[in-house]
Structure 1
Amino acid sequence: MNRRRQKKLTRSLVAAATFDEGRRVERLLRAGADPAAADADGTTPLYAACVQGAVGIARRLLAAGAPPDAESAGPGADGTPLCAAACWGHTETVRALLAHGADPGLREDHGAGWTPLRWAEAGPHPQTVAVLRAAGAR
């Protein structure tokens, strides 16, 4: 697949994940969109889905090979998927990420930022905090 087509697929996949468009995500993945690729801004589809609490899309992206701990670097969309979900109290999305191997103690900003637990506590999102603590977050 040529580079231009891959970029277009990636941009479309991030948009579909952002707007919780499950059918479109499925079509794009079948068309060859890379679930691990970031768009030109640096935003990953998994991060976009996790911010929105789109657990079905997050699960589909994870099943397709999106790495659960890959940081997004887009403007206003930077950090790890788990921090994004924890920040907004999307408990089911947090559970899905943890089930796919996301590290509950991983700090965003390449180790210099907050942990998912810190984001959930700041929310405050007590149910999300409880799930993260049960997974070993400190």
Structure 2
Amino acid sequence: MNQRQRKKLSRRLFGAILVGDAAQAKAVLHAGADPERRDGDGVTPLYAASVQGAADIVRLLLAAGASPDAESRGPGSEGTPLCAAACWGHAEAVRELLAYGADPNLREDHGTGLSPLAWADAGPHPETAGLLVAAGAVPSR
């Protein structure tokens, strides 16, 4: 597959994520879209799906090989997928990320920022915080 085709598939994948179309995301991944290819701003597909709470798309991306702990770098879209889901209280997305090995104690900003639990507590999103604690998240000191 050439660079142009990869770029086109990536745009289609982000489009499917944006509208929450899991069937389209699955089709694009099946066609060869890279589940880790960042958009022009540095945002990962998994981060985009996590911040939207699209648990079904989160699951598809993880099953396709997306790293659960890869940090995004886009303006306004920086951080880990787990921090993004926890921040907005997306419990189902948090469950999927944890099931695929996301680190419940990994702080965003390359270890210098907030943890997923800090985001969930700030929400406040008690269900999400409970999931993180059950997975081994330790409160910030």
Interval of TM-score (by shorter of Structure 1 and Structure 2): over 0.9
The residue type paired with residue 3 of structure 1 is Q
The residue type paired with residue 65 of structure 2 is G
> Which residue matches 1:69?
69
CA distance in 2, matches of 1:12, 1:112: 33
Say whether residues 1:100 and 2:100 are aligned partners. Answer: yes
Mapping for residues 39-54 of structure 1, pairs under 5 Å: 39-54=39-54
CA contact (8 A) 1:18 1:45 kept: no
Q: Identity of aligned pairs, percent?
A: 64
CA distance in 1, matches of 2:106, 2:51: 17
Shift of residue 27, structure 1, vs aligned partner = 1.5
Task: Render the CA deviation track for 1:39-83: whole Å, top value 9, x for unaligned.
Answer: 111111111111111100100110010110001111221110000
**Comparing 99-108 and 12-21, the one that deviates more:** 12-21
> Mind listing any 5+ residue stretches in structure 2 that lack a counterpart?
none
CA distance in 2, matches of 1:16, 1:48: 11
TM-score by length of structure 1 reads 0.96
CA distance in 1, matches of 2:48, 2:18: 5
- Deviating runs (4+, > 3 A) in structure 1? none
The alignment yields a C-alpha RMSD, in angstroms, of 0.9
The residue type paired with residue 114 of structure 2 is W
CA distance in 2, matches of 1:21, 1:118: 30
CA contact (8 A) 1:69 1:82 kept: yes
CA distance in 2, matches of 1:87, 1:105: 14
TM-score by length of structure 2 reads 0.94
Say whether residues 1:57 and 2:50 are aligned partners. Answer: no
The residue type paired with residue 111 of structure 1 is G
Mapping for residues 1-138 of structure 1, pairs under 5 Å: 1-138=1-138
CA distance in 2, matches of 1:71, 1:16: 20
